[in-house]
Amino acid sequence: MTVKLTNLILKVLAENFKSSVSLEELAEIAGLYELLTDELPDLKPNQHLIQSIILENLIILHDQGMVHLEEMTDLSTITPKGLHAAALIENSYNNLD
Protein backbone atom coordinates (compact mmCIF):
# COMPACT_ATOMS: atom_id res chain seq x y z
CA MET A 1 0.00 0.00 0.00
CA THR A 2 2.83 2.43 0.79
CA VAL A 3 4.13 2.35 -2.79
CA LYS A 4 0.68 3.00 -4.25
CA LEU A 5 0.05 5.79 -1.77
CA THR A 6 3.41 7.51 -2.22
CA ASN A 7 2.97 7.33 -6.01
CA LEU A 8 -0.48 8.88 -5.72
CA ILE A 9 0.81 11.60 -3.40
CA LEU A 10 3.64 12.39 -5.83
CA LYS A 11 1.14 12.57 -8.68
CA VAL A 12 -1.10 14.98 -6.78
CA LEU A 13 1.81 17.19 -5.74
CA ALA A 14 3.20 17.17 -9.30
CA GLU A 15 -0.18 18.34 -10.60
CA ASN A 16 0.00 21.20 -8.06
CA PHE A 17 3.74 21.86 -8.34
CA LYS A 18 3.35 25.65 -8.27
CA SER A 19 1.75 25.62 -4.83
CA SER A 20 1.85 23.88 -1.49
CA VAL A 21 -0.80 21.34 -0.56
CA SER A 22 -2.01 20.88 3.00
CA LEU A 23 -2.41 17.54 4.71
CA GLU A 24 -6.15 18.13 4.85
CA GLU A 25 -6.28 18.81 1.10
CA LEU A 26 -4.32 15.64 0.39
CA ALA A 27 -6.71 13.63 2.56
CA GLU A 28 -9.68 14.98 0.61
CA ILE A 29 -8.28 14.34 -2.84
CA ALA A 30 -10.19 11.71 -4.77
CA GLY A 31 -8.30 8.49 -4.91
CA LEU A 32 -6.53 8.63 -1.56
CA TYR A 33 -9.65 7.95 0.47
CA GLU A 34 -10.77 5.17 -1.87
CA LEU A 35 -7.30 3.59 -1.85
CA LEU A 36 -7.14 3.58 1.93
CA THR A 37 -10.68 2.32 2.45
CA ASP A 38 -10.03 -0.48 -0.06
CA GLU A 39 -6.73 -1.40 1.61
CA LEU A 40 -8.05 -1.12 5.19
CA PRO A 41 -11.68 -2.29 5.04
CA ASP A 42 -11.72 -3.67 8.57
CA LEU A 43 -10.53 -0.40 10.10
CA LYS A 44 -13.17 1.77 8.43
CA PRO A 45 -10.67 4.64 8.34
CA ASN A 46 -11.87 8.04 9.46
CA GLN A 47 -10.41 11.38 8.42
CA HIS A 48 -7.91 11.45 11.31
CA LEU A 49 -6.56 7.98 10.51
CA ILE A 50 -6.32 8.84 6.81
CA GLN A 51 -4.38 12.02 7.60
CA SER A 52 -1.95 10.14 9.85
CA ILE A 53 -1.32 7.49 7.15
CA ILE A 54 -0.77 10.21 4.55
CA LEU A 55 1.57 12.05 6.93
CA GLU A 56 3.62 8.87 7.43
CA ASN A 57 3.99 8.58 3.66
CA LEU A 58 4.85 12.27 3.31
CA ILE A 59 7.63 11.78 5.86
CA ILE A 60 8.97 8.86 3.78
CA LEU A 61 8.91 11.05 0.65
CA HIS A 62 10.51 13.91 2.58
CA ASP A 63 13.30 11.65 3.82
CA GLN A 64 13.91 10.57 0.20
CA GLY A 65 14.12 14.20 -0.93
CA MET A 66 10.97 13.92 -3.07
CA VAL A 67 8.90 16.48 -1.18
CA HIS A 68 9.48 19.34 1.18
CA LEU A 69 7.26 18.97 4.22
CA GLU A 70 6.88 22.14 6.25
CA GLU A 71 6.57 20.70 9.75
CA MET A 72 4.97 23.77 11.35
CA THR A 73 2.12 24.00 8.83
CA ASP A 74 1.88 20.48 7.32
CA LEU A 75 2.15 22.03 3.84
CA SER A 76 3.87 19.86 1.24
CA THR A 77 5.63 20.92 -1.94
CA ILE A 78 7.16 18.60 -4.51
CA THR A 79 10.90 18.94 -5.15
CA PRO A 80 12.61 18.65 -8.55
CA LYS A 81 13.61 15.09 -7.58
CA GLY A 82 9.96 14.33 -6.79
CA LEU A 83 8.80 15.84 -10.09
CA HIS A 84 11.26 13.62 -11.92
CA ALA A 85 10.05 10.56 -10.02
CA ALA A 86 6.41 11.47 -10.71
CA ALA A 87 7.18 11.76 -14.44
CA LEU A 88 8.89 8.35 -14.42
CA ILE A 89 5.91 6.81 -12.62
CA GLU A 90 3.48 8.40 -15.09
CA ASN A 91 5.55 7.13 -18.04
CA SER A 92 5.62 3.61 -16.61
CA TYR A 93 1.82 3.68 -16.22
CA ASN A 94 1.44 4.89 -19.81
CA ASN A 95 3.70 2.11 -21.08
CA LEU A 96 1.40 -0.47 -19.49
CA ASP A 97 -1.48 0.59 -21.72
Q: Which amino acid would we find at residue 64?
A: Q
Chain Cα centroid distance, residue 42: 22
Return the pLDDT at 1: 56
Return the pLDDT at 57: 92
Assign 31 a pLDDT band (cuts: 50, 70, 90): low
Q: Which residue has the higher pLDDT, 45 or 23?
A: 23
3-class DSSP state of 79: coil
- Collect contacts of 88-93 with beta carbons under 8 A, ≥24 apart: 89/7, 89/10, 89/11, 90/11, 90/14
Return the pLDDT at 82: 95
Going from N- to C-terminal start, the domains of the chain cover 2-96
The whole-angstrom separation of Cα 26 and Cα 7 is 13
Assign 43 a pLDDT band (cuts: 50, 70, 90): low
Report the pLDDT averaged over residues 1-27: 86
The angle at the Cα of 69, spanning 66 to 72, to the nearest 5 degrees, equals 170
2-96 to CATH, choices 1.10.150, 1.10.10, 1.20.5, 1.10.287:
1.10.10
